[in-house]
Amino acid sequence: MPLDALIDSLPAHAKDLKLNYSSLVRNNSELTAQQFWGTVVASAIATRSAPLTAAVLEAAPAHLSAQALEAAQTAAAIMSMNNVFYRFHHLTPNEKYATMPARLRMNGLRGHGVEEVDFELWSLAVSAINACGKCVGAHEKVVRDKGASEELVLAAVRVAAVIHAIGTVLDAVQAQASAGQPAAEPALA
């Protein structure tokens, strides 16, 4: 289903999400198109919502170069791994784990071919969705050290929050349908 149709199909209880998404798309002034759509792609993948991810990946090539699309997918993939690994460091009281090598390949963090700030914003968005405080802190610091404003950071996190919430609602709608429950009425614009 095309992304706009998917957003339009959100149930009435998700009207705020529909309005927030519409506002983000129309009124985005902080993020470049590449930053915005890369954040949408990486965030959709991080939601693990199949219908949302499919719709976003269908829409993204109209807004991103092939290289930027692949880089956003790379950010989502690597951060999905790193967020689990480093969140473990944060959650365990055993400090020895933080001194041990990760032994995880992370070559995609370099050589992705897009602006470093953009890739770091996408990594930050995925880390926020996956609730990895250590990764959020590290990527926010890199972005800020490279000259990005707090407004830019918050704009990317705002996109991630809305995309994550849409994915959550779509998964609930899919679960209701699988259970044979009637679908909720779509939200009116």
Find all residues with CB under 8 Å of 175, minimum gap 6, and list them: none
User: Is 123 within 8 Å of 140 (Cβ atoms)?
Assistant: no
Task: Determine which one of 45, 132, 143, 169 is catalytic.
Answer: 132
Respond yes or no: is residue 153 known to be catalytic: no
Alpha helices by DSSP H, listed for 9-148, are: 15-27, 33-47, 50-59, 66-91, 116-129, 133-145
Respond yes or no: is residue 136 known to be catalytic: no
Q: Is 186 helix (H, G, I), strand (E, B) or coil?
A: strand
DSSP H or E stretch at residue 153: helix 150-178
Task: Determine which one of 59, 68, 135, 155 is catalytic.
Answer: 135
Q: Catalytic site residues?
A: 132, 135
